[in-house]
Amino acid sequence: MASQGDELSKRCPECNSEHLVRDYERGGELICNDCGMVVEDSFIDQGPEWRAFDSEQDDRRARTGSPMTFLSHDKGLATEISWSNKDYYGKRIPHKNRAQIYRVRKWHQRIRVSNAAERNLSMALQMLNDIGAKMGIPKDIKETAALIYRKAVEKNLIRGGRSIESIVCASIYAACRKVNLPRTLDEISKASDVNKKKIGKAYRHLAKELSLNLKPTTPYSYVAQFCNKLDLDKQAIVVSEEIVRKSIEAGISSGKGPTGVAAASIYIASVIVGKPRTQKEIARVSGVTEVTIRNRYKEISKILGIPGME
Ligand SMILES: [Zn+2]
């Protein structure tokens, strides 16, 4: 199981939370308990895990009937063209023909690789569009995500088992962050059916290799979108933001996940404006646990001097 409290000096680079936990079941990954980002990889080589994930995906694809070759062009190549000096029937190829056969194979390989790359790209962009649509992401943010994805392809970052799906999701996550309309890993994970940790890892990889330099998110960036999802109006947003401001001034948000501070502020604001939402409802749209909302609520209500709201 995960243990916590042993990484007191570290903060999540994504949300500034100090609430980091080590998951010893997964080889000691350091995970942000607030936003779900994998802050540090496990001590153990990730190779076998990636491969297992890929074969899992292959199975899924095989079941749904879409071609497997999208995922790994090498696989198709390996089964189709043998690199030995034997022909299809296992007879040795005469020496004089070898050079020619080698050229044909080489040429065949190049075509296959470029076709596979194009197919991969078009599949990835289609996927990006679908996931973006599911999440209600506007066109310009999807374009930004596509640009980030293309850069990842150019820099050859989609390899070593890192699936296309997780890089697509990471591109969407990064694009939303870039325009300061962050979406939670939870939300992208739900829309894409890709594991949250895999998205987080792929994102960290992108951020590092493409030097994205995105600043940590703040509670403000989540207030409007969470309120919209809760069907709360402008007044609730304004009051929530005011509560966020007071929380930040009082130092409550320091080292705490921004989604938790936003969620608790909205909880209080919804009561103040007479449109109360339950902690459960807020937990659902924010991806923050009810326990975290309650903890932040207690801290914030203390500085606001509003007892007995629970
Ligand atoms: Zn975090």
Burial code (b: 16+ CB inside 10 Å, e: under 16) for 8-37 equals eeebbebbbbbbbbbbeebeebbbbbbbbb
**Dihedral sign computed on CA atoms, order 14, 141, 69, 76:** negative
C-alpha triplet 34, 20, 306: angle, nearest 5°: 50
High-pLDDT (> 90) share of the chain, %: 46
pLDDT tens-place string over residues 156-186: 888 755 588 999 999 999 999 998 889 999 8
pTM (two decimals): 0.68
Distance 33 CA to ligand 1 centre (A): 7
Q: What is the CATH number of domain 220-304?
A: 1.10.472.10
Q: What is the CATH number of domain 116-209?
A: 1.10.472.10
Give yes or no for a contact between 207 and 214, defined as CB atoms under 8 angstroms apart: yes
Distance 41 CA to ligand 1 centre (A): 14
pLDDT tens-place string over residues 207-237: 999 999 888 889 999 999 999 999 999 999 9
Distance 82 CA to ligand 1 centre (A): 48
Distances (CA, A) of 261 to 11, 27, 139, 188: 16, 30, 29, 20
Residue 123 CB contacts under 8 Å (≥ 6 apart), including other chains: 70, 164
> Is 74 or 259 the better-scoring residue by pLDDT?
259
Using alpha carbons, select from 124, 213, 215, 211 the residue that is nearest to residue 162: 124
Same fold, 116-209 and 220-304: yes
At 159 the pLDDT is 74
How do the domains of the chain map onto residue ranges?
A: 4-40, 116-209, 220-304
The secondary structure of residue 23, as a DSSP letter, is E
Of the listed ranges 29-33, 68-72, 130-134, 260-264, the one predicted with least confidence? 68-72
The whole-angstrom separation of Cα 172 and Cα 212 is 13
Q: Which residues are within 5 Å of ligand 1 (an ion), measured at CB? A: 12, 14-15, 17, 32, 34-35, 37
SS (H, E, C) 29-87: EEEECCCCCEEECCCCCCHHHHHHHHHHHHHHHHHHCCCHHHCCHHHHHHHHCCCCCEC
- Confidence class of residue 292 from pLDDT cuts 50, 70 and 90? very high
